[in-house]
């Protein structure tokens, strides 16, 4: 398994398993198989509602001695309703209880678009019109609370997700601890070059969710073409005797971008891990570089009324 070093020299496995929309026995079976095959990076979030299942699988593996906690990298995220400083640690502690862990390896601000916390445990508060009810939290104060989570050893690393470069820079200007990681939508159609260049200048690792274009997500913008069916990608898959998914993932990891593909299918889980020890020719890599066209599958329409939503800035 390949790794990428974070700013504190922690090792983030470059291929992880995304768990968004996976729950119950389906998730437990997929995750247990993934760990068996060698996955050591698990990506989840409090809002996914699946941390308890992940905790069960990991606890069983630790108990039977087939996994060591120090070899595992677990990322979770604090949802928009818990961005007020007093609630940040509460969110992380809930995740730790669900995961049956004393710490996570990474905790992220799930998004900069805060939502009202009504105190009822509702993670997606809506009004009578069915609209998400927004709240504008001071991200600098939220980040201070994240630094406390780090200092209290609840998380080995802290970072952000779905942030623009300007939002990250605002944090960096005041932070004691610079974010270690930006998790963002990134794939061949959306290579995030400007955002990656900025993060590189700050020593922030960019990791990719939806690296395959999230073909199964109901929230994907259906107006855009399916990335896995792109004719250039299919052509390269035939040439290298790989799957389209393997071509897409290999391209990203060879650009030092950790990937978090989601799958419950054992064959695909096996394929998604087999993307490290081979490379494409410079000419073929150029074909993929040229596919960058700014297609973003997740626009988060619910957040467009929020003052921290900047549609024309990469995030």
| pLDDT tens-digit series, residues 160-192 | 999 999 999 999 999 999 999 999 999 999 999
Structural element, H or E, at residue 195: helix 193-202
| pLDDT tens-digit series, residues 131-165 | 999 999 999 999 999 999 999 999 999 999 999 99
Least confident of 207-211, 243-247, 294-298: 294-298
Return the pLDDT at 217. Answer: 75
Assess whether pLDDT exceeds 90 at residue 126: yes
Assess whether pLDDT exceeds 90 at residue 1: no
| Region 238-264 average pLDDT | 97
**216: domain CATH number?**
3.20.20.100
How far CA 297 is from CA of 21, 165, 195, 217, 220, in Å, comes to 16, 19, 17, 9, 5
Assess whether pLDDT exceeds 90 at residue 251: yes
| pLDDT tens-digit series, residues 194-205 | 999 999 999 999
Q: Annotated active-site positions, please?
A: 48
Structure tokens at 272: 């998604």
Domain annotation covers residue 69: yes
SS3 percent helix, strand, coil of the chain, rounded to 5, is 40, 15, 45
Domain annotation covers residue 312: no
Give the sign of the dihedral formed by CA 221, CA 222, CA 225, CA 228.
Answer: positive
Task: Please classify residue 70 by burial: count the beta carbons closer than 10 Å to its beta carbon, then call 0-12 exposed, 13-18 middle and 19+ buried.
Answer: exposed
Domain annotation covers residue 315: no
Phi (first) and psi of residue 4, to 5 degrees: -125, 140
With beta carbons less than 8 A apart as the criterion, state whether 257 and 207 touch: yes
Show the CA angle centred on residue 226, arms to residues 225 and 229, nearest 5°.
115
Domain annotation covers residue 308: no
Domain annotation covers residue 309: no
Helix axes of 24-37 and 266-273: crossing angle, nearest 10 degrees: 40
Between CA 281 and CA 164 the distance in angstroms is 32
| Region 227-236 average pLDDT | 97
Return the pLDDT at 225. Answer: 87
Total number of domains constituting the chain? 1
Assess whether pLDDT exceeds 80 at residue 219: no
Domain annotation covers residue 314: no
**Terminal CA-CA length for the chain:** 28
- CA-based nearest residue to 199, from 157, 156, 166: 166
- CA-based nearest residue to 235, from 295, 286, 186, 284: 284
Between CA 234 and CA 246 the distance in angstroms is 11
In this structure, which long-range contacts are made by residues 88-92, counting pairs with CB atoms below 8 Å and at least 24 apart in sequence? Answer: 88/142, 88/145, 88/146, 88/148, 88/149, 89/145, 89/148, 89/149, 89/152, 89/154, 91/46, 92/149, 92/154, 92/155
Domain annotation covers residue 38: yes
The number of residues in the chain equals 315
| Region 55-74 average pLDDT | 97
| Region 71-85 average pLDDT | 98
| Region 51-70 average pLDDT | 97
- Under the banding of pLDDT at 50, 70 and 90, the label for residue 222 is confident
With beta carbons less than 8 A apart as the criterion, state whether 278 and 199 touch: no
Write out the residue range of the structural domain in which residue 39 sits.
3-303
Assess whether pLDDT exceeds 80 at residue 218: no
Q: What is the mean pLDDT of the chain?
A: 96
Beta strands per DSSP E along the chain: 3-5, 11-13, 17-18, 41-43, 73-78, 106-109, 158-161, 181-185, 205-209
Return the pLDDT at 215. Answer: 83
For the chain, percent of residues with pLDDT exceeding 90? 96
Q: By three-state DSSP, how is residue 23 classified?
A: coil
Assess whether pLDDT exceeds 90 at residue 115: yes
Return the pLDDT at 48. Answer: 97
Return the pLDDT at 224. Answer: 82
Domain annotation covers residue 18: yes
Helix axes of 266-273 and 244-253: crossing angle, nearest 10 degrees: 30
Q: Hey, how many other C-beta atoms are within 10 angstroms of the C-beta on 137?
A: 23
């Amino acid at each position: 398994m390949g790794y990428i070093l974070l700013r504190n020299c922690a090792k983030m496995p470059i291929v992880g398993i995304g768990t968004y929309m996976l729950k119950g026995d389906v998730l437990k079976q997929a995750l247990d198989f993934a760990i068996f095959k060698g996955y050591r990076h698990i990506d989840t979030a409090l809002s996914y509602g699946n941390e308890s299942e992940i905790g069960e699988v990991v606890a069983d593996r630790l108990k039977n001695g087939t996994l060591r906690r120090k070899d595992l990298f677990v990322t979770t995220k604090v949802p928009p309703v818990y961005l007020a400083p007093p609630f940040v640690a509460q969110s992380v502690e809930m995740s730790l209880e669900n995961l049956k862990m004393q710490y996570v390896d990474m905790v992220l601000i799930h998004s900069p678009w805060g939502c009202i916390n009504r105190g009822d445990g509702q993670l997606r508060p809506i009004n009578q019109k069915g609209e998400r009810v927004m709240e504008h939290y001071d991200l600098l104060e939220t980040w201070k609370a994240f630094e406390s989570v780090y200092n209290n050893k609840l998380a080995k690393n802290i970072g952000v997700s779905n942030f623009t470069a300007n939002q990250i820079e605002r944090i960096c200007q005041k932070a004691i601890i610079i974010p270690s990681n930006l998790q963002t939508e990134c794939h061949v159609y959306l290579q995030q070059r400007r955002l990656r260049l900025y993060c590189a200048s700050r020593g922030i690792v960019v990791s990719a969710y939806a690296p395959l274009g999230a073909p199964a997500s109901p929230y994907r913008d259906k107006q855009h073409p399916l990335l896995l069916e792109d004719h250039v990608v299919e052509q390269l898959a035939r040439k290298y005797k790989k799957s389209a998914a393997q071509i897409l993932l290999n391209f990203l990891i060879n650009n030092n971008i950790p990937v978090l593909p989601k799958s419950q299918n054992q064959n695909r889980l096996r394929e998604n891990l087999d993307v490290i020890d081979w490379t494409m020719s410079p000419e073929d890599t150029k074909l993929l570089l040229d596919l960058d066209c700014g297609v973003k599958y997740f626009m988060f329409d619910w957040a467009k009324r929020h003052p921290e939503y900047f549609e024309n800035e990469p995030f």
